[in-house]
Amino acid sequence: MPRVERSAEVSWEGNLARGEGRISAPSGIFSEAPYSAATRIASRPETTSPEELLAAAHAGCFAMSLAGELREAGARIDVTANVVLDEVDGKGHQIVESQLEVRARAPGLEQAAFDEAVEAADRGCPFSRLIAAAAKVTINATLED
Amino acid sequence: MATERKATVTWHGDLMSGSGIIDSVTSGAFGPLEVDWANRAEDAQGKTSPEELIAAAHAACFAMALSHGLAEAGSAAEQLETAATVTFVPGTGITKSVLQVTGTVPGIDEDAFRRAAEDAKENCPVSGALKGNVELELNATLA
């Protein structure tokens, strides 16, 4: 399989405490999305943060991975990722955890097969593997009727 | 103090022919964003991918850390143009993130700027989450 590269650009002005950055993605799906230190720590509407972007990446990655495991054309998968940034003694701010809430509907799928698929999806999700060296990944998965 | 950020994805269908929508992010700053396998593993055609979002997170985190390091060292940046390029090898995983920064920083020489950038690359929280599994690279120059 070929290598795939994806890039994004940020323009930052000023220092950390009072400055502000703008994030753009070449796909055009977001352009000059604002963020700042204040909104990274204390959320403000309409301003994203690195952790929010990672939450979006993890939820997107896990949903695809589980879809690949279920192989059900009629499946519907809902994933919420919650990424936690915390102060760690001697290390400053670190991303310590990503918590996944998964709900799936897959016609005819048994609970045991679903549980196996969730485990396989975690092993196969590139993002889960990526952060496993530094942060904890927790998964709470429910199979719905 | 711990800070949490959330995003939700709804996926329909299987991996190859299905697609998902990223929505309900904490800030409401972006979304809904469409994702699918073809746009992730082949050419990006107007849809985002987990790797693009990681690139955005890494560039954003690095820019913040560098602005802080420079200000602490007494030479605050006027502007930092940063980019991150993340490599995804289907079947292998996410293998690399390359950071590129061009800084407008009064009163600093190229060497000191590179050292500050190297420090930010090593210590920003997103680098911390990626390190160990992903090769990190840096190109830093003054404007």
Rounded Cα–Cα distance for residues B104 and B143 (Å): 5
Rounded Cα–Cα distance for residues A125 and B64 (Å): 28
Cβ contacts (< 8 Å) between A80 and chain B: which residues? 6-9, 24
Most confident stretch, B25-34, B38-47, B118-127: B118-127
Q: Where are the alpha helices (DSSP H) in A21-125?
A: 37-41, 50-70, 111-124
CA distances to A1, A12, A87, B128, B130 from A95, in Å = 31, 22, 9, 7, 10
Q: What is the pLDDT of residues A36-75, one digit of tens each?
A: 888 887 767 777 889 999 999 999 999 999 999 987 667 8
Rounded Cα–Cα distance for residues A48 and A34 (Å): 7
Rounded Cα–Cα distance for residues A98 and A54 (Å): 9
Q: What are phi and psi of B85, to 5 degrees?
A: -120, 120
**Structural domains counted in chain A:** 2
State the pLDDT at residue B15.
87
Chain mean position to CA A118: 16
Cβ contacts (< 8 Å) between A67 and chain B: which residues? 11, 13-15, 18, 20
Instruction: State which residues form the domain around A15.
Output: 9-41
Co-location of A66 and A27 in the same domain:
no
To test the contact with chain A by mutation, choose from B27, B43, B136 the residue with the greatest count of A C-beta atoms within 10 A, namely B27
In sequence order, the β-bridge partners of residue A140 are A101
State the pLDDT at residue A75.
83
Determine, yes or no, domain membership for A2: no
CA distance A122 to chain B (A): 13
What ipTM did this prediction achieve? Answer: 0.89
Higher pLDDT, A41 or A77: A77
Subunit contact A7:B86, Cβ cutoff 8 A = yes
Co-location of A71 and A29 in the same domain:
no
Flag whether residue A51 sits within 8 Å of chain B, measured between CB atoms.
yes
High-pLDDT (> 70) share of chain B, %? 99
Which tokens hold the place of B134?
A: 């992903």
- B92 pLDDT more than 70: yes
Question: Are B18 and A38 contacting, i.e. CB atoms less than 8 angstroms apart?
Answer: no
Co-location of A36 and A71 in the same domain:
no
Co-location of A57 and A86 in the same domain:
yes
Co-location of A96 and A130 in the same domain:
yes
CA distance A128 to chain B (A): 10
Subunit contact B13:A74, Cβ cutoff 8 A = yes
In sequence order, the β-bridge partners of residue A93 are A87
Which tokens hold the place of B142?
A: 């003054």
Question: Mean pLDDT, to the nearest integer, of B96-118?
Answer: 96
| Pairs across A and B, CB distance < 8 A | 344
pTM of the model: 0.91
Cβ contacts (< 8 Å) between B108 and chain A: which residues? none
Residue A145 pLDDT grade (very low, low, confident, very high; cuts 50, 70, 90):
confident
Co-location of A54 and A119 in the same domain:
yes
CATH topology of domain B50-142: GMP Synthetase; Chain A, domain 3 (3.30.300)
CA distance A108 to chain B (A): 14
**Contacting A residues, span 78-107, partner chain B, CB-CB under 8 Å:** 78-87, 91-96
Residue B16 pLDDT grade (very low, low, confident, very high; cuts 50, 70, 90):
confident
Subunit contact B27:A52, Cβ cutoff 8 A = yes
Residue B64 pLDDT grade (very low, low, confident, very high; cuts 50, 70, 90):
very high
Co-location of A24 and A55 in the same domain:
no
The domain spans of chain B are 8-41, 50-142
Rounded Cα–Cα distance for residues A73 and A82 (Å): 27
